[in-house]
A and B are shown apart, each in its own frame.
Chain A
Amino acid sequence: MVKPSFSDEIANLLHASHGNPLITCIQCGTCSGTCPAVDYMDHTPRRIIGMIRANLKDEVLNSNTFWYCASCYHCTVRCPAQIDIAETMYALKRYSIWKRVHQEGLVGPTFSETFVKTILRSGRSFEPILATSYLFSAGVRELIQEGVTATKMMLKGRLPMLPPRIKRLDNFKRMVSRVIPLEAE
């Protein structure tokens, strides 16, 4: 059996929309021109699509592009070839988490996993928990700034003291384990 190429894998990673026609990309650069985060990416969205098509798996997985994608879908609604670039960025994030390969020093992968664990534990998300887990990986200056924002919001009654949770949490956890088997904790 022939292993699917990296570009086939990525193009078909979207469960619901049954694939993404990366092959039709005409490399027009509309996506890069629209992207609000392009200045911070090591490869532009246009280039990443090109690199996926060229099966440059290692280079793609080691880029920061998809982790710096803000999921704003601006590129998606403008692409003349109907490629859903934002969903492709999501697909790359998932692929990179599954394969445990990503560029050194990125906060995104750890943060995503922490966030998901929080929801699976309680059914709801809770900003202070997220902030704390993030602070461990952030620099001191950010830490102080984050602290100032959090304290101000606490004083205005905008941050809760206790994490919220849903009522039928046991059912919820069993529901989740029918989708992805998880270790109970």
Chain B
Amino acid sequence: MKEYAYFPGCSLEQIGLSYNQSSVETTKVLGVELKELEDWNCCGATTYFHVDELLAYTLCARNLAMAEKDSLDLVAPCSACYKNSYFTNKHLREDPDLADHINYALEEDDLSYSGQIEVKHLMEVFYCDVGLDEIRDKVKKPLEGLKVAPYYGCQILRPKKDDEDVEQAEFFEELMSAIGAEPVPYPLKLKCCGGSLLISNRIAALSMVRNLLQNAEDNNADVIATACPMCQVNLECYQPQVNQEFGTKFQVPVVYFTQLMGLALGIRGKKLGIGKEIVAATPLEPYTT
């Protein structure tokens, strides 16, 4: 049994509830134990770095330190939490001055961090640690005939880590094929959804959402699958506003990759949070019983 320190992040407690439910349920079936980090704090999203870089690293370091105390690698389902935690880890390992300064602050919570753990995105745990063969073995109800647009978004891939291929990623598609779904070509899959601009430049954000929805529709996707709560909310919940702003008629369901995996693993739709959508996930109906 593989065990990880689980850092759900603020969005999964609220707006992304069904991502949390489906992450917990699918990992159980796959023999992965997620031990929720006790008393985790917000990673700062993108906004924190607007104000103070050092403070942003300190916030992430507190979570890393708590995971290190349990000698567990940290796993985040949210791409923003993942990116912030990953790069804080990297900077702390490479920069002793930064680590000193931050450890001085961590003392206030009786913590310290020495760079001993790894940070992973939940999708990486499925793809690399569990592995596609194992997943294929455990599939009970392949999602045959379901056309999925795999939306990577930004922070699961960017900034670039080591020598990973940030332009031609295929792991999302492979995961979808492993559960019997059909990944459709999705040329804009790496383009930003504009999530962080929703408040500061609404029109820019809505037009970015529109392009992504259009691209999924043009490629006959039944659903868009995401690996980030902010992408999900942005693409799904703002469809009415996109439609109003641009005179479009989008009704594209946007679900979490863990919800699709859960269905294929034979978990009931309700346990995966299916039914909480604003744009009903009707194409999933044949698979939800």
Give A contacts to B, CB under 8 Å: 14-18, 36-37, 39-40, 67-68, 70-74, 76-77, 84, 86, 90, 93-94, 97, 106-108, 111-113, 115-116, 119, 123-127, 130, 134, 142, 145, 148-149, 152-153, 156-160, 164, 166-168, 171-172, 174-176, 178-180
Contacts and interface: CB of A to CB of B under 8 A. Distances in A.
A166 B191 CA distance: 34
Interface string B264-289: 00000000000011100000000000
Counting contact residues on chain B (CB < 8 A from A), the size range is: 35 or more
A158 B154 contact: no
Interface string B47-63: 11111111101110010
Contact of A119 (B44, B53, B201, B202): B44
Given A14-B53, A166-B40, 5 more contacts: A86-B159, A124-B42, A149-B240, A171-B108, A176-B58
B69 interface: no
B109 A171 contact: yes
B39 A68 contact: no
A172 B197 contact: no
Contacts, number: 195
Nearest to A178: B105
Contact of B203 (A40, A73, A90): A40
For chain B, what secondary structure do more than half of its interface residues adopt (helix, strand, loop), or is it mixed? helix
A37 B194 contact: yes
Centre residue among A119, A126, A159 by max chain B CB count within 10 A: A119
List 7 tightest A-B contacts by C-beta distance, closest first: A72-B192, A108-B200, A73-B158, A16-B91, A171-B109, A178-B105, A174-B108
Contacts of A14: 53
A94 B53 contact: yes
A33 B238 CA distance: 26
B53 A123 contact: no
25 contacts: A16-B57, A16-B91, A18-B95, A36-B192, A37-B201, A40-B204, A70-B197, A70-B208, A71-B46, A71-B49, A86-B159, A90-B50, A93-B49, A107-B201, A124-B10, A125-B10, A145-B244, A148-B240, A156-B277, A157-B17, A160-B13, A166-B40, A171-B109, A172-B62, A179-B54
B39 to A, nearest CB: 5
Contacts of A179: 52, 54-55, 58, 101-102, 105
B49 A90 contact: yes
B194 A176 contact: no
B29 interface: no
A126 to B, nearest CB: 8
